Structure 1
Amino acid sequence: MLSAQQHTRALLDYIDASPSPWHAVQTTVNTLLQANFSELHEGDAWALAPNGRYYVIRDDSSIIAFTVGNDLTENGFRLIGAHTDSPGLRVKPKPNSKVGDFNRVGVEVYGGPILATFTDRDLSLAGRVYVQKDAQLSSHLVHFNKPFLRLPNLAIHMNSKVNTDGLKLNKQTELPLLLSVANDQLSSQPNMVELLAKELDVNTADIAAWELQSCDTQAGAIYGVNDEFYANSQLDNLASCHASLSALVSRPSLNAQQFNVCAFFDHEEIGSNSHKGADGCFLSDVLERVAYSLKVSSEDYKRALSNSFLISADMAHAYHPNFPDAYEPEHKVLVNQGPVIKVNANIRYASNSASQARFIQLCTQADVPYQQYSHRTDIGCGSTIGPMTSAKLGINTVDVGCPMWAMHSIRESAGVLDHQYITRVFTQFFA
């Protein structure tokens, strides 16, 4: 068994290889292929083999992987859901913005990032680009593996109240990223589209469209006196993707002969209301087609759903000792103290007493500690894919996640033990 640090190192490598949702799906596929999973295409007819291992991709940034088990009607599906996207800055369709001698890249805020954390970072770009060449469209993953963008802070001499009022950035006028400056001493001052064309070895006129986001070039790190913490971008929610993926391809899971499912959705950070989001039809389409391929009747499929269970895996808010008043005093969850069961009376989280009890039982079986979280009642509570997925499918669901600091920062952090803990629980669930 890997040590907690080794398992966390594997997580950091997974995230470093996944600077965008499209890359995250490709990195996930690489792991699935090593475990002998085969791709299914939604446009093809499906013929599932006994004990088969499969995955389905929708629009490059959402993926569902599953194993074929025995007696779907009686055993149901065992599902873990997570998401591939993270808050950040997305490049606009017409990105080239020149002010004076400066070339800038125009960006739009995606989701709810802590914008101040994007300042003074060594930024790059990653995502998906469509090229039209010789009347053919092709999709390409792009990751400029070097820092060439920056959002410099305004010096305190021009912003003297920054430490008392906080850093406030106008999303339209103060977020464009600095790309280059015109200078006769420099050989060239390319704009973003020209850089993109060079990276893809095409002409600028060949570039049809893109979905690109800024990304931090600093690699993930394990830190602390005892190497007990780790930091990287996109812990929310690639850490949950990695934990559930690791469980799915583990030997206990692959030998279990059960219908184990990992569903990783795009667009969670902006509401999930898309054809590939958790509020869409992707998961229900896949589950229905699994049942249809196995000649399970409509009634027996509904019976299978009633016998299914979903773990909605998304990161949780760890107690921050510098801000004690931000937390519900009886529900302070700590890093390296185990996965967190998230509860909300208004169903912002899907957990109920039955689903909580089942997850607690899994923790007991896996010899893993657990914690329970409730948000401060006088502060608005976030949500997850749990409630909407549970409502769409009628599957009992628990919302869980590892505790972390600085959620939605460009550099988030968490505890190495928790990642190992939750992977053990997920493996127990799939076994």
Structure 2
Amino acid sequence: MSYLDFCQNMTQFIQNCPSMFHSVATIEKELQAKNYTLLKEKEAWNIEPGHGYYVIRNNSSICAFYVPQEITDYHFQISASHSDSPTYKIKAIPEYKGPEPYVRLDVEAYGGMIDSTWFDRPLTIAGRVLVETDKGLENRLLYIDRDILMIPNVCIHFNRQVNDGYSYNRAVDLPPMLSAGEMKKGSFDEMVAKELGVEVSAIRGKDLFLVNRQNGLVWGYENEFVSSPKLDDLECAYSTLQGFLDADHTKKVDVYVCFDNEEVGSNTKQGAMSTFLKDTLKRVNAALGKTSEEYYRAVSGSFLVSADNGHALHPNHPEKNDPANTVFMNQGPIIKESANQKYTTDGFSRAVFASICKKANVPFQCFANRSDIVGGSTLGNLSNTQVSVHAVDTGLAQLAMHSSFETGGAKDPYYLYEALKEFYNTNIIIDGADTVTFD
């Protein structure tokens, strides 16, 4: 497969993931296509060698693993990404009525988005709805595949300072317009009920978010760029998943995990700081007939690749980047490092991942923030509070991070795929922080 085909497949994957709940459902379909078996947290686990399995928490985080026929070096090789992206969540009572005759939605920010990028473009809603049935409550996915919302800018004649660094007020400027008069207060839930084929009275709870309706695309005269909603972090979620699915799983237990809630701190029951990964690994250990002592020994020899995008040099603002540790699109995965441990990379884990990239014939780059600019953090060091392993923070270089329509390099998803496939194909034997053998 060419990098271009891979990138176009990725944009279709992202289009199928309008919310974190849809992201997990889409990943689940890919796992099922490879004959992975669903395990439920409330049920006993029966694990057989030579098979792949997955478990879902809250319908928004997913962890898959493969147990080979023979484990000759018991440890875990893990990749982690996240299913969520910055957007706006619709509140439980969803509507503002007026000024007459308008109906607007009451929304609040989920994560740290660039507000201005959400104006004047077709939007819709997606997420999950809990509906009452004869037997109790049932979870339903919702995606309205139509252009139904818009957040209109105020015309420049009434906002002359809009091009002078205008500060948007999310309570005043961001409510999306739902109707100019045809719909009334209460129409939102009626719309949701109609889409789900239930009565309004059956709706008991909902987690619904705004969705940018623009489809992703590869662009540029030489097909150099890819732009899409949610590149951060579905680009990494897809590339690491494909590397996991296409690898030859031997000698150790390979793990793929995609967490929810990274954009709001990961401190939830399904986030990277939760027990989700630890619970899964401990239950795998028990199902394999291993002892607690064997679990701790396995973890000590394990390795995590945390995959979340980073900042490419912006052509209009090169001064924002560190002059030496600068990364570019289409030049391979980036290795992110921070002295204050906002990233989990250290010299040891950098060397391991760089060696994997070299084995895969994949270029890689080194990223660090300017020393006078505080950067963001990601899920690697947060996950390590529950499962403490050697770990590297990697990802792909992109522009316009947290815009509603982000831009990256079209070659990079395939580079990350090749690196992760090699990561899973390689048995990484770690002895403390002294030696590493690649088998």
Query: What TM-score range do you get, normalising by the shorter chain?
Result: over 0.9
Matches within 5 A, 1:15-414: 15-69=14-68, 74-99=73-98, 100-134=100-134, 136-166=136-166, 168-182=167-181, 191-250=187-246, 252-254=247-249, 256-414=250-408
**CA distance, structure 2, for counterparts of residue 20 and residue 72 of structure 1:** 37
- Counterpart-to-counterpart distance in 1, 2:70 and 2:194: 53
8 Å contact kept, 1:53–1:66: yes
CA positional deviation for 1:392: 2.3
CA distance in 2: counterparts of 1:297 and 1:71, whole angstroms? 18
**For 1:48 and 1:26, how far apart are their aligned partners in 2?**
22
Q: SS at 2:384's partner residue?
A: helix
Distance 2:409 2:113 in 1: 21
Distance 2:229 2:422 in 1: 28
Structure 2 unaligned runs (5+)? 426-439
Higher deviation after alignment, 274-283 or 130-139: 130-139
Q: For each residue in 1:354-378, what CA deviation from the matched residue of structure 2 results, as whole angstroms up to 9, or x when unmatched?
A: 0000000011000011100001121
Distance in 1 (CA, whole Å) between partners of 2:360 and 2:255 is 19
Q: What displacement does 1:129 show? A: 0.3
Distance 2:202 2:408 in 1: 42
Counting matched residue pairs gives 424
How far has the Cα of 1:163 moved from its partner? 1.1
**Are the equivalent residues in 1 in contact too, given 2:97–2:185 (CA < 8 A)?**
no
SS of alignment partner, residue 209 of structure 1: strand
Tell me how far 1:275 sits from its aligned partner: 0.7
Report the secondary structure of 1:243's partner residue: helix
Conservation of the 8 A alpha-carbon contact between 1:247 and 1:430: yes
Q: Deviations over 1:367-404 (max 9, x none)?
A: 01110000112111111110122232220000000101
Distance 1:279 1:71 in 2: 31
Whole-Å separation in 2 of the counterparts to 1:16 and 1:150: 19
Runs of 4+ with >6 A deviation: none
Question: Using a 3 Å threshold, how does the CA distance of structure 1 residues 357 and 78 change in structure 2: closer, same or farther?
Answer: same
State whether residues 336 and 394 of structure 2, in contact with CA within 8 Å, keep that contact through their aligned partners in structure 1.
Answer: yes
Matched, 1:10 2:19: no
TM-score, normalized by length of structure 1? Answer: 0.96
CA distance in 2, matches of 1:237, 1:324: 23
Q: Is the 8 A contact 1:57 1:64 kept in 2?
A: yes
Shift of 1:155: 0.8
Q: Which amino acid aligns with 2:131?
A: V
Give the C-alpha shift of residue 331 in structure 1.
1.6
Larger deviation, residues 103-112 vs 323-332? 323-332
Task: Please give the alpha-carbon distance, in whole angstroms, between the structure 1 residues aligned to 2:74 and 2:9.
Answer: 32
1:40 and 1:401 map into 2 onto residues whose CA distance is 29
- Tell me by how many angstroms 1:257 deviates: 4.8
Q: Percent identity?
A: 37
SS at match of 2:49: coil
3-state DSSP of counterpart to 1:312? strand
**Paired position in structure 1 for 2:429:** none
2:119 is matched by which residue type in structure 1? Answer: T
